[in-house]
Structure 1
Amino acid sequence: MKKVMIEKIIANGESETLELKPSLSQMNEIIETISALANTKGGEIIIGVSDSGKIRGVEIGKGTIENLTNTIAQNTEPKIQPHIKIEKIEGKNIIVIDVTESMDKLVLAFGRPYKKVGKSSPRMSKEEYEKRILEKHKEKIQFDKQICKEATLKDFDWNYIKEKFIPLYERLSEKKITGNLPSLIKSLNCIRDGKPTNAGILLFGKEPQNFYMNAYIALARYKGKEVETQRLDYKEFTGNLFQQVDECDKYIKEHITIMSRLLPDRIQREDIPEYGWYSVRELVTNAVCHRDYADFGSKVIIKMFSNKIEFYNPGGLPEDITPQNIADKQYSKNPIIAKILAKVKYIEELGEGWDKIIKEHKEHTLKPRLPKIQGDSHSVLVTVFSAKEKFEEKKIELTLTERQKKIMEYLRNNQRITTSACAKLLDISNDTVLRELTSLKLLNIIGKKGIGKATYYFLKMR
């Protein structure tokens, strides 16, 4: 790094990728910061500079750099040997330690992991460290392929497999299944070494919640637009994953609005659901398919509001997948579960589910707002938005006069309108304006505030 660049980053102050240390006497903190930087994005530690950016300098002896290198290597695991060099700023020596981002981000300092959070270097929690280890070894210790230690073959719901799963698979695949049931389940990686796997119990177990207490969907339905409003209902969908998806999907569709309209060229009315049928089922299925079942303290949570549905999935996104590129990437925490769900068309085998959700929204008669995805390494929250209010707007628009439509358009862009502004907008008398505004007020579309000349009208329906 050139001298000019060093001076510039010192002037910018400490950050997630830069730590300033006044002297080598803070050796323990320096080594902990090396762990933190390696476990985050990498960066630099500059020694001989105060937190405020004042150059103090460091005394450099014959063995200073060698001793620093050895101390770092001896107290980090795996051993870190960063690039270290001496620079002269304002006539004083400073030490620059360049720390590279670790591939697996599991670097320890004095046997403990650290990470960068802004300017701080806190110790990583036990849960986060363990999660990173699991991520590193995910192919070896993939949750859904592991044996469910407490379970036996008697814990499979063989009747469900015979009466429900096999007929569904045969119908969709147009193939006849031969052989006995245990052989079939074993071929699906649901039996290993004569015992059920985690995937096997979750998909085909009689009572999966006996082994995974929070492996269910919790759904709350609210009267208004926020959690603070009255809760109308609370449901828990248990059983195997197929049953959870089917029952939850059915409940949601029984409790969302189906609007209808009569088109001039048709005898029958057109039914319009406030949410896309495909989107609802796909998001429910994705939640149970891609959640982190190794996180025993969390569950899938769905919240239904008057204007949206939120789908919360514990588990989070891998590092290379973000809410922005999720439609272009394919990933599953539970590949065995995903493959079996795909075999019976519960999810899209080629990872096209999100594309179809977006397509359904764009082709919806009322063009609802596109879904919103929020995600981090711990959880994913997908929100879909109701088209109900758009339907009400369209329905009311059909009954309005051209003048009233102009008033509505003005209010959408300007929030409020006075009698005089309305008269100017429509080029009519104040008396006629009052009649139009009164009609809109009686329809409960607009409201009125103020007294006398301070009176104005505002749009109530959003």
Structure 2
Amino acid sequence: MTRNKEIKDILKEGETNAIEFKINANKKSIGNSVSALLNSEGGRVLIGISDKGEIKGIDNVEQVSEDLRKHLIEEIVPDTPIDLSIEHINDKAIIILKVSEGSKQPYIYDGNIYYRRGSNTVKATSKEISRLIHQREVDEQHWERQVFLGFAWDDLDHKLIKNTLIESKENYRSSYQGNDLQEFLNHYGLMTNGAYTNACVILFSKNTSKFLPQSRVRITEYANSKTDNSLIRDEALEGNLFVLRDKLESYIYNLGTKSHFDDKNWKRIDFRYPVKALQEGIINALMHRDYSSYNSQLTISIYPDKLVIANSGKLPEEIAIRDLKKNHRSFPVNPDIAHIVFLRGLIDKLGRGTVKINEECKIAGLKSPTWKQSKGEVILTFNGPLASVAKRHSDLKNKSIDATNDAISDAVNTAISDAINDAISDATNDAVKSRLKQELVLLYIEESLSLRSLQDTFDVGRATMQRDMTLMNENKLIDFTGSNKTRKYIINKDLMEKLKSL
């Protein structure tokens, strides 16, 4: 489902306990609604939409959205991530605020506690406030909120804390505007009554493994299989969360090309794991691992045909494995740790990390990653090529030629043929028109492809494929995205909307 289609479906459904429309960016009205959703089960606020679901749009949307973000960060207490995005529908800009259920309820806005009752935002009753306060007291007994006895100010990396404070301001994600490092820690619950929490040790300790040895990360790289005695690397990494992240990112940048031997085709296949997907997998593991047990572990194992990240812990009860490949609400296992990571700009849209991992692997032409929960571990596996690059290209070509498969209906197939015949000159021979149609069908199925993928799929030269793409672009059948180096081809927006409506 495209983003525009998803939004239009929401507009048809109308306002609910989790959806609210705002015709304009009135800060007070939006603040009331956001705090109510934080105190309830989360949801979305769509700004630039009438009560009846009509798209009115927002003028000067960039400035309005930035002003609104700053206002909400400054006025909602306690501090919370603000997930704000701008979307364009029917040439009109709207703002969408995605709100997760708050981990530090109750949230206060303008001196009041608001709650979501049905499709209405109302002031919370004394009973509702009591329940929220009780739940917060329970939550604050969580491991990351517990004080670590014997840990002192000199055990902290003061430069790292200062950089985090500065970055949180530069990212407009922090409501703390002072410069005192201890006040900063206290503001975010990492310090209480002069003592430091477990979360503070994980995030900012100079020698984390001295206090919490379970914070180590082990990397093992195998030459062949897991039973092979020849190891390329076997190392335990130490440091706080940000140090570990830097070490692991340096490792994946230098991981280089991997080789997988396809015994069916007697061919060596070279490939690279998508760096962005590995980055997401690493930061998710560091944020969400269960640090509470001394037996806790995070291991990264690299084989010739796969990379596995195994993390102590379990998925939140609210999330199933099947939810990880689609947009879902975020339920951080360690909300204090996750929030500091958010302040530094290392995560953007909570609940989107696993979706981005899947998307990056798809773009790289690799099999979808898999998640599994087993024996107190969450295991993420990045897969190498399906069987061979040739098989991938063969599968793509079969998709484009066989218009009777599930990915494309007869109506869409006919519409694509008509679009080619109407736009392309009769002087173009039938063989070229047939190939153009197959290319357009493939772009409809895959959504975007590089020139090289199209070349390999249709077994034509670079110049031929460039001519095809230029011809269809000039006739408003396709568009380009990205720079010359990263260019991808997509179906023209108006044509895609027409095809999606069939």
The TM-score, its normalising length taken from structure 1, stands at 0.49
The TM-score, its normalising length taken from structure 2, stands at 0.45
